[in-house]
Structure 1
Amino acid sequence: MSLNASILLHENDGAAVALRDIRMGETILIEELSKSIKATEDIAKGHKFAVREIAQGDNVLKFGYSIGIATEHIMEGSWIHTHNVKTGLNGLLEYSYEPDRASNQPIRESSFYFDGYVRENGEAGIRNEIWIINTVGCINKTCEHLAKMGGSLYGDRIDGIYHFSHPYGCSQLGDDLTYTQTLLASLANHPNAAGILVVGLGCENNQIEEFKKVIGKQPAGRIKFLTSQEVDDEFEVGMELIGELVEYAEQFKRQPVPVSKLKIGLKCGGSDGLSGITGNPLAGMISDWIISEGGTSILTEVPEMFGAETILMNRAANEEVFHKIVHLINDFKEYFIRHGQEIYENPSPGNKKGGITTLEEKSLGCTQKGGHSIVQDVVPYGEKVKVTGLNLVQSPGNDLISVTALAAAGAHIVLFTTGRGTPFGGPVPTVKISTNTELAHRKKNWIDFDAGRLVDGVKMEDLTDELIEDLIDLASGKSRTNNEKFEFREISIFKDGVTL
């Protein structure tokens, strides 16, 4: 008899999740049902097995919801995965607003504070950095070199000088160019950047004079502009401008700021069978906490809402927000159809290897990052959030694109849950939360926090308190994430259109 070998997430579920490797013939105690079953085959950690017989054509339940349809009769104790389950999703759907007011939670005056930088517009930053933003990909290396030169000369006076490479800004039309301009402008307005150097080439579609209009009005001295074709030596001029930005940035000093000023982005990547049990629910606890303090959490990855979208729709603040969520979902489905792709061609090979079988299963785990709060608004791709509380942001699930969109939306920190691991980091501190302890031990240079301890008996409340303390230290500059330590900072811009 093996204890803690599995977990059943809902009393009606037909699928339990293995918390360790299970051998064929092993007897497993299903504590939630007070029964024992015998494994009919090997079941890998994070994968599912049947706790009761499931007839061909029946729904397979996990989290209390259907995660797909059984394609054959599944015997008790059998492995459940892609060989005997298929998605139950198909085509476009119609939705009705059925508000779930049980999700409402009171907002209290902030009782937590961090030491941040209060900007001239009243926003707060958790870093005092200089960001170099290029209008076009042709000058990536120029900007990269300027960042290195600036870091060597001024690195001890501020929190760092960084450039974010991208290939766009020229040969783009319509929405593609708009996406690029909007996203880069939102990054230029991010409060973690005390100062911004915008570098252009001179002949690109994304001309500096037009880009200035998208960026909007700025405090005097915060943004400098350089057109490379118009100067003899862009490195000399660029370094002069960086020096002026550093002087501007030095006026800001850390001071106590209520956490209601914080915006936390929510993302998962490389999910495994424990993602919906450990890391994502923990991120949901942080989301609910920051919102209860008057702050903001931001959820994205629209295709990974498919199959669980009604949960979010029924938590809409009002019918207007409900219709925004409907458009968010259906517009992304139309995007798939427009390109001749299967809407529900997900999860990825890595997800499947980790134990995720269908998009419904992935989505039900993914949306847990949003906790139980009311959805206050839906934000178009590349734009900044405008209201506090839980916001949904338009973006695909791709790690680089979605984390960039979260940063552009205003996230100071991104919580990135992962069951398989990645070294990737966005332009803001990216907290890698492992869904299993083995990954945390094996990839210490990637992982910042181990949520896998939840299956070893650590209470969710204790782990939440620990992560809150870590986040306040991170926001206060007392600690740094691994992506910061190793300077793994990247952006990626969504593209959907013609390249000239």
Structure 2
Amino acid sequence: MKSKFIKINEADNVAVALEDIEAGYTENNLTALDDIPFAHKILLEDLKAGDDVIKYGYPIGHVDRDLKKGSYIHSHNLKTNLSDKLEYSFLHNNKYLPKKSDLTFNGYVRKDGRVGIRNEIWIIPTVGCVNKTATELEKRFSNIGKGCDGVYAFTHQFGCSQLGDDQENTRKILAALAHHPNAGGVLIVSLGCENTNLSVFKEYLGDVDESRVKFMVCQDVTDEIEEGTRLINEIYDVIKNDERQPVNIDKLVVGYKCGGSDAFSGMTANALCGVINDCLTSYGATTILTEVPEMFGAEQILMERSENETVFNKQVEMINGFKDYFYSHGVVCYENPSPGNHDGGITTLEEKSLGCVQKGGKSIVTDVLKYGESAHKNGLNLLTGPGNDIVSVTNLVCAGCQVILFTTGRGTSLGAAVPTIKISSNSALFGRKGNWIDFNAGELINGTDFDVLADELQNKLIAVLNGEKTKNELNNYRDISVFKDGVIM
């Protein structure tokens, strides 16, 4: 008979229910003392109050009372171990030694040497006041001709009446979007009187190919729709002749994200991403892991994999800096996961974090990036930023990711500005939301061999790099959001 529980690590003292379990169910000397919902935890041994609960081989918190084997473990009896800032010690250097690979994909090589996997035209407003102009222009080009993969507007609410770091964040993010290699051409749309007006914004943009990057100030033209249409046609005339060519896998930049996680995310979808990550970094590709609050409780695992002491110190600064961000708003840094995570069987932040960092596999951490900073080192990079889905995927895009592997256990329709491969942690989600999900990692629970499924996911990734559309592209679900931490005037 197929087991109704799964134990992830030999050291664990909890298992996860593979289906709803009724109190009294017995299997291999384990009797459920309570009803155990699907994806939630059952205790495998007696514990005393204060004892740690172990999952993924690490503590995910402690029980607040004496509990018997077979008890249901969740927020009513499991409490976090997290607290304030910790002291960290650098242990050792790690050598990052990628090997040569003949693995390739077909991409668009840009003048700066970066490679796009799409040849799109992006419309980027410098301020929210011109969002409708941008979206109207997108509508006009819903059926653009051969040689362009589409025209897309990336609207946002900012660009004016912002102060300090908020204003800087907006400018950095928009400038990074304008330089993204998936955009064969870009139209920058300005109102004219905003703080991030065109003359200011051009300082952040730096050098651009003006045959591919055009500018429009709406207050300076008679009809902004007609002028925008003219400029997009000019861009199209340049990019329509771009062609894909084979490039080595070391030109690839992949971002990892999880949203709407459940208790299976860390053992199926995130674990598969970890294997893909280790393969890619071994071949010299660049990969990026973000969501700093979802590293709390698992950060020392990543710190142990720092390439050198400089990278270690940057990790400590990133973790403690984000804790300071929480404290500056009078909020503790170890709040429980979201209601969706909670309902999906995740109890504490360290439980979520230990599952989250599985996406980074066992790769050496070669760099730590600030918010809005682009990756420039091969290997696994950590990117400073929050866990919020739409802010995180925007952050990954602006760090240079051509594609994002997005794992989910509860489901989400969110798509980034780049192809977003949605990976379900369980088969029930895949069956229910096939219009959102590209790949089912839940087959691991059903008995599919791990290596077989990892190969299938890698093949899926290569197909998307070569032009196969993801569900977010087919649905035209593409959004951006800028990280905000300041005053609006």
SS across alignment from 1:195: strand
Q: What is the correspondence of 1:320-359 to structure 2 with a 5 Å cutoff? A: 320-359=310-349
Alignment of 1:9 with 2:8, yes or no, is yes
Could you tell me which of 222, 235, 239 is aligned with 2:212?
222
Match of 1:23 in 2: 22
Q: For structure 1, which segment, 246-255 or 46-55, has the greater mean C-alpha deviation from structure 2 after superposition? A: 246-255
- The amino acid that maps onto 2:74 is H
Match of 2:472 in 1: 483
Could you tell me which of 181, 188, 192 is aligned with 2:182?
192
Cα distance, 1:12 vs structure 2: 2.2
- The amino acid that maps onto 1:143 is A
Match of 1:33 in 2: none
SS across alignment from 2:293: helix
Match of 2:87 in 1: 94
Is 2:147–2:239's contact at 8 Å kept on the other side of the alignment? no
Alignment of 1:267 with 2:257, yes or no, is yes
Alignment of 1:125 with 2:116, yes or no, is yes
Indicate how the Cα distance of structure 1 residues 100 and 311 shifts in structure 2: closer, same or farther if over 3 A, else same: farther
- The amino acid that maps onto 1:18 is A
Alignment of 1:115 with 2:102, yes or no, is no
Find the aligned partners of 2:373 and 2:177 in 1 and give their Cα distance: 9
Identity %: 52
Cα distance, 1:222 vs structure 2: 1.8
Alignment of 1:452 with 2:442, yes or no, is yes
Find the aligned partners of 1:368 and 1:157 in 2 and give their Cα distance: 38
Cα distance, 1:387 vs structure 2: 0.9
Is 2:146–2:240's contact at 8 Å kept on the other side of the alignment? no
Which ranges in structure 1 are unaligned for 5 or more consecutive residues? 30-35
SS across alignment from 2:479: coil
Q: What is the correspondence of 1:398-413 to structure 2 with a 5 Å cutoff? A: 398-413=388-403
Match of 2:406 in 1: 416
Match of 1:47 in 2: 40
- The amino acid that maps onto 2:479 is E
Find the aligned partners of 2:118 and 2:355 in 1 and give their Cα distance: 31
SS across alignment from 2:203: helix
Q: For structure 1, which segment, 444-453 or 285-294, has the greater mean C-alpha deviation from structure 2 after superposition? A: 285-294
Find the aligned partners of 2:349 and 2:417 in 1 and give their Cα distance: 29
Cα distance, 1:106 vs structure 2: 4.3
Indicate how the Cα distance of structure 1 residues 100 and 366 shifts in structure 2: closer, same or farther if over 3 A, else same: farther
Find the aligned partners of 1:56 and 1:409 in 2 and give their Cα distance: 45
Find the aligned partners of 1:488 and 1:271 in 2 and give their Cα distance: 20
Find the aligned partners of 1:447 and 1:265 in 2 and give their Cα distance: 17
Find the aligned partners of 2:111 and 2:101 in 1 and give their Cα distance: 21
- The amino acid that maps onto 1:225 is F
SS across alignment from 1:151: coil
Could you tell me which of 132, 142, 163 is aligned with 2:133?
142
Could you tell me which of 352, 356, 372 is aligned with 1:362?
352
Find the aligned partners of 1:283 and 1:370 in 2 and give their Cα distance: 7
- The amino acid that maps onto 1:228 is C
Match of 1:385 in 2: 375
Alignment of 1:309 with 2:308, yes or no, is no
Find the aligned partners of 2:92 and 2:136 in 1 and give their Cα distance: 53
Match of 1:252 in 2: 242
Cα distance, 1:105 vs structure 2: 6.3
Is 1:14–1:54's contact at 8 Å kept on the other side of the alignment? no
Cα distance, 1:100 vs structure 2: 7.5
Alignment length (residue pairs): 489
SS across alignment from 2:155: coil
SS across alignment from 2:416: coil
Cα distance, 1:150 vs structure 2: 2.4
Alignment of 1:237 with 2:233, yes or no, is no
- The amino acid that maps onto 1:22 is I
Is 2:21–2:36's contact at 8 Å kept on the other side of the alignment? yes
Cα distance, 1:255 vs structure 2: 1.1
- The amino acid that maps onto 2:454 is T
TM-score (norm 1): 0.96
Find the aligned partners of 1:105 and 1:55 in 2 and give their Cα distance: 43
TM-score (norm 2): 0.98
- The amino acid that maps onto 1:364 is L
Find the aligned partners of 2:206 and 2:67 in 1 and give their Cα distance: 59
Cα distance, 1:28 vs structure 2: 2.0
Is 2:105–2:462's contact at 8 Å kept on the other side of the alignment? yes
SS across alignment from 2:396: helix
- The amino acid that maps onto 2:25 is E
Is 1:434–1:440's contact at 8 Å kept on the other side of the alignment? yes
Cα distance, 1:258 vs structure 2: 1.4
Cα distance, 1:194 vs structure 2: 0.3
Which ranges in structure 2 are unaligned for 5 or more consecutive residues? none
Find the aligned partners of 1:211 and 1:155 in 2 and give their Cα distance: 30
Q: Deviations over 1:269-302 (max 9, x none)?
A: 1111101110111111111111111101100000
Is 1:434–1:452's contact at 8 Å kept on the other side of the alignment? yes
Q: For structure 1, which segment, 114-123 or 193-202, has the greater mean C-alpha deviation from structure 2 after superposition? A: 114-123
Find the aligned partners of 1:12 and 1:256 in 2 and give their Cα distance: 45
Is 1:119–1:252's contact at 8 Å kept on the other side of the alignment? no
- The RMSD of aligned alpha carbons is 1.2
Cα distance, 1:236 vs structure 2: 1.0
Could you tell me which of 472, 482, 498 is aligned with 2:487?
498
Find the aligned partners of 2:27 and 2:171 in 1 and give their Cα distance: 56
Match of 1:59 in 2: 52
SS across alignment from 2:141: helix
SS across alignment from 2:27: strand
Find the aligned partners of 1:140 and 1:173 in 2 and give their Cα distance: 21
SS across alignment from 1:456: coil
Is 1:431–1:448's contact at 8 Å kept on the other side of the alignment? yes
Is 1:155–1:161's contact at 8 Å kept on the other side of the alignment? no
Find the aligned partners of 1:105 and 1:180 in 2 and give their Cα distance: 34
Alignment of 1:425 with 2:404, yes or no, is no
Indicate how the Cα distance of structure 1 residues 321 and 105 shifts in structure 2: closer, same or farther if over 3 A, else same: closer
| Structure 1 residue ranges (4+ consecutive) displaced by more than 2 angstroms after TM superposition | 154-157
Q: For structure 1, which segment, 65-74 or 109-118, has the greater mean C-alpha deviation from structure 2 after superposition? A: 109-118
Is 1:283–1:415's contact at 8 Å kept on the other side of the alignment? yes
